[in-house]
């Protein structure tokens, strides 16, 4: 019975996620679902990306947290559309939450949407949101064993970002070993090494975002998935 209930919940979520996808397609908005454990640097990476791309792409952000508007306030200073979702205890965003958020965002004024999920390496993997790509961030101080402890998200990710590489000399994070483990689990995922403090690797990351996005708004055809 528990398995059936779980399947029913996920099935209902997936149906709403498809509606979200259709709405984003209608407005030609490219959406990235950004996931990580707490403190890995989701907001920092989003902010660096906004600052790098805002002269070329119109960016919006949906911020997901259990409570508070701290991250949304940081994003708001960049003068981009931002909407806060407080889950009130839920450890992930779901498609219904995103559906309500999309109804209150100026999608016609956006090209790129970041959905910052709740900090968690377990629950977000089960719930589709209607996004185009899944991005997973792991930071150097966390250690390189997260890929073994939480394999589902690494298996699902389209891009994996190792953040805070400026701290690598002070940690035991084995980037080469991590890269080999990722390839063994997920050969399609792109791996990026970045520091939102020194901005190292940000250009490579933003180049990937641009190359992965669908064509500009004046075109109607959507890029096929690689």
Site of tokens 């073994």? 148
Per residue in 45-60, pLDDT (tens digit) is 999 999 999 999 999 9
Task: Say whether pLDDT at 63 is over 70.
Answer: yes
Name the β-bridge partners of 32.
Answer: 114, 133
Q: Where are the beta strands (DSSP E) in 13-132?
A: 30-36, 59-65, 82-86, 112-116
The arithmetic mean of pLDDT across residues 71-95, rounded, is 94
Per residue in 80-89, pLDDT (tens digit) is 999 999 998 8
pTM: 0.89
List the one residue out of 121, 43, 52 whose CA is nearest residue 82. Answer: 43
- Position 2 scores a pLDDT of 52
- Position 128 scores a pLDDT of 95
Per residue in 169-192, pLDDT (tens digit) is 999 999 999 999 999 999 999 999
Domains recognised in the chain with CATH numbers: 2-212 (3.40.50.300)
Per residue in 118-143, pLDDT (tens digit) is 999 998 988 999 999 999 999 999 99
């Amino acid at each position: 019975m528990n398995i059936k209930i779980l399947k029913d919940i996920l099935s209902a979520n997936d149906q709403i996620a498809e509606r979200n996808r259709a709405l984003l397609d209608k407005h030609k908005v490219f959406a990235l679902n950004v996931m990580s454990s707490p403190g890995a640097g989701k907001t920092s990476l989003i902010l660096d990306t906004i600052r790098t791309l805002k002269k070329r792409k119109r960016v919006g952000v949906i911020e997901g947290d259990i409570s508070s508007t701290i991250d949304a306030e940081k994003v708001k200073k960049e003068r981009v559309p931002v909407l806060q979702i407080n889950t009130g205890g839920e450890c992930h965003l779901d498609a219904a939450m995103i559906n309500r958020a999309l109804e209150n965002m100026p999608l016609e004024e956006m090209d790129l949407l970041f959905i910052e999920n709740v900090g968690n390496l377990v629950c977000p993997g089960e719930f589709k949101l209607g996004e185009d790509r899944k991005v997973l961030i792991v930071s150097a101080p966390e250690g390189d064993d997260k890929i073994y402890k939480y394999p589902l998200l690494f298996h699902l990710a389209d891009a994996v970002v190792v953040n805070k590489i400026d701290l690598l000399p002070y940690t035991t994070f084995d980037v080469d070993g991590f890269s080999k483990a990722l390839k063994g689990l997920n050969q399609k995922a792109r791996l990026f090494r970045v520091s939102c403090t020194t901005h190292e690797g940000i250009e490579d990351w933003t180049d990937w975002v641009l190359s992965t996005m669908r064509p500009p708004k004046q075109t109607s055809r959507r890029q096929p998935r690689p």
